[in-house]
Chains A and B, each alone.
Chain A
Amino acid sequence: MEQRRLGWPRLLGLLAVLASPAFATRNLGLWPMPGSVQMTPRLLHVSPDRFFIDHSPASKAGPSCALLQSAFQRYYDYIFGFNKWRHGPAKPHSEMDLQKLLVSVTQDPECDNFPSISSDESYTLQVKGPVALLEANKVWGVLRGLETFSQLIYQDSYGAFTVNESKIIDSPRFPHRGILIDTSRHFLPVKTILKTLDAMAFNKFNVLHWHMVDDESFPYQSITFPELSNKGSFSLSGVYTPNDIRRVIGYARLRGIRIVPEFDSPGHTQSWGKGQKDLLTPCYQGTQSSGTFGPINPILNTTYSFLHALFKEISTVFPDKFIHLGGDEVQFDCWKSNPDIQKFMKSKGFANFERLESFYMEKLLDMVSTMGKRSIVWQEVFDNKDKLSPGTVVQVWKSDKFPHEQSKVTEAGFPMILSAPWYLDVIRYGQDWRGYYEVEPLDFPGSEKQKTLVIGGEACLWGEYVDSTNLTPRLWPRASAVGERLWSHQGVRDLGDAYSRLTVHRCRMIRRGISAQPLFTGYCNYEDGMSQ
Chain B
Amino acid sequence: MAGPALWFPLLLAAASAGRAAALWPWPQYIQTSDWRYTVSPHGFQFRYHASSAAQAGCSVLDEAFQRYRAVLFDSVALRFPSPAERHTSEKNSLVVLVVTAGCDQFPSLESVENYTLTINDEQCLLLSETVWGALRGLETFSQLVWRSPEGTFFINKTEIEDFPRFPHRGLLLDTSRHYLPVASILDTLNVMAYSKFNVFHWHLVDDSSFPYESFTFPELAKKGSYNPATHVYTAQDVKEVIEYARLRGIRVLVEFDTPGHTLSWGPGVPGLLTPCYSGSHPSGTFGPVNPTLNSTYEFMSAFFLEISAVFPDFYLHLGGDEVDFTCWKSNPDIQAFMKKKGFGEDFKKLESFYIETLLDIVSAYNKGYVVWQEVFDNKVKIRPDTIIQVWREQASVSYMREMELVTGAGLRALLSAPWYLNHISYGPDWKEAYTVEPLAFEGGPEQKALVIGGEACMWGEYVDSTNLVPRLWPRAGAVAERLWSNEIVSNLESAFKRLTHFRCELLRRGVQAQPLGIGYCDTEFEQN
Q: Which residues of A contact B (CB under 8 A)?
A: 185-187, 189, 191-192, 195, 216-217, 234-235, 237-238, 425-430, 463-470, 472-474, 510, 515-523, 525, 527-531
Contact = CB atoms under 8 A, between A and B. Distances in A.
Interface in B421-441: 422-428
A517 B177 CA distance: 13
Top 5 closest pairs, chain A to chain B, by CB: A473-B467, A470-B470, A234-B520, A523-B226, A515-B466
For chain B, the bracket of interface size reads 35 or more
A216 B178 contact: no
Contacts of B520: 186-187, 217, 234-235, 238
Given A427-B424, A429-B424, A510-B466, A531 B514 contact: no
Contacts of A463: 518
Interface stretch (B179-187, B195-203, B251-259): B179-187
Contacts of A470: 467, 470-471, 512, 514-515
B525 interface: yes
A525 B519 contact: no
Contacts of B527: 189, 191-192, 195, 468, 472, 515
B464 A517 contact: yes
A469 B514 contact: yes
A26 B464 CA distance: 25
A531 B507 contact: no
Contacts of B519: 186, 216, 234
B178 A528 contact: no
Interface string B507-528: 1000011111111101011110
A469 B422 contact: no
A515 B467 contact: yes
Interface string B192-211: 00000000000000001100
A320 to B, nearest CB: 26
A185 B518 CA distance: 5
A468 B526 contact: yes
Interface stretch (B69-77, B394-402, B455-463): B455-463
A517 B466 contact: yes
A468 B524 contact: yes
Contacts of B516: 465
Given A429-B424, A470-B467, 14 more contacts: A235-B520, A428-B426, A470-B512, A515-B467, A518-B178, A519-B462, A521-B460, A523-B227, A523-B464, A525-B227, A529-B465, A530-B230, A531-B181, A531-B183
A189 B521 CA distance: 12
Interface in B396-454: 422-428
B514 A467 contact: yes
Residue among B428, B469, B515 with most chain A CB within 10 A: B515
B515 A473 contact: no
B465 A528 contact: yes
A186 B522 CA distance: 12
B231 interface: yes
A426 B429 CA distance: 13
Contact of A216 (B179, B230, B518): B518
Nearest to B473: A469
Nearest to A190: B526
Contact of B522 (A185, A235, A468, A518): A235
A217 B515 CA distance: 16
A521 B174 CA distance: 11
A531 B237 CA distance: 13
Contacts of A518: 178, 462-464, 466-467
Nearest to A524: B464
Contacts of A191: 526-527
Contacts of B209: 523
Contacts of B470: 469-470, 473
Contacts of A472: 466, 527
A120 to B, nearest CB: 33
Nearest to B426: A426
A515 B184 CA distance: 13
B178 A429 contact: no
Contacts of A187: 520, 524
Contact of B422 (A185, A429, A468, A520): A429
Nearest to B507: A469
Given A428-B424, A464-B518, A523-B178, A469 B525 contact: yes
Contacts, number: 134
B461 A467 contact: no
Contacts of B181: 527, 529-531
A425 B515 CA distance: 13
Contacts of B428: 465
Contacts of B208: 521-522
B466 to A, nearest CB: 4
A521 B227 CA distance: 14
A463 B514 CA distance: 11
A425 B524 contact: no
A528 B426 contact: no
Nearest to A521: B177
A186 B513 CA distance: 14
A115 B230 CA distance: 42
A421 to B, nearest CB: 15
Nearest to B183: A529
Contacts of A189: 524-527
Nearest to A476: B466
B425 A523 contact: no
A467 B524 contact: yes
A240 to B, nearest CB: 13
A465 B178 contact: no
A524 to B, nearest CB: 8
A158 to B, nearest CB: 14
Nearest to B423: A429
A426 B517 CA distance: 14
A244 to B, nearest CB: 14
Nearest to B462: A518
Contacts of A515: 466-467, 527
Nearest to B470: A470
A519 B520 CA distance: 29
A198 B81 CA distance: 45
A219 to B, nearest CB: 10
A464 B227 contact: no
A189 B512 CA distance: 14
Contact of A427 (B425, B466, B525): B425
Contacts of B462: 429-430, 517-520
A530 B423 CA distance: 25
B426 A425 contact: yes
Contacts of A428: 424-426
Interface string B486-522: 0000000000000000000001000011111111101
Residue among B428, B470, B507 with most chain A CB within 10 A: B470
Contact of B514 (A425, A465, A523): A465
Contacts of B464: 517-518, 523, 527-528
B94 to A, nearest CB: 31
Nearest to A473: B467
A49 to B, nearest CB: 25
Contacts of A216: 518-519
A464 B427 CA distance: 8
B426 A427 contact: yes
A438 B426 CA distance: 21
A521 B181 CA distance: 15
A468 B426 contact: no
B466 A467 contact: no
B203 to A, nearest CB: 13
12 contacts: A189-B524, A189-B526, A191-B526, A234-B519, A234-B520, A465-B515, A469-B514, A510-B466, A517-B464, A518-B464, A529-B183, A531-B183
Nearest to A238: B520
A473 B524 CA distance: 17
A185 B231 CA distance: 38
Nearest to B506: A469
Interface in B213-241: 226-227, 230-231
Given A425-B426, A430-B462, A530-B230, A469 B515 contact: yes
A476 to B, nearest CB: 9
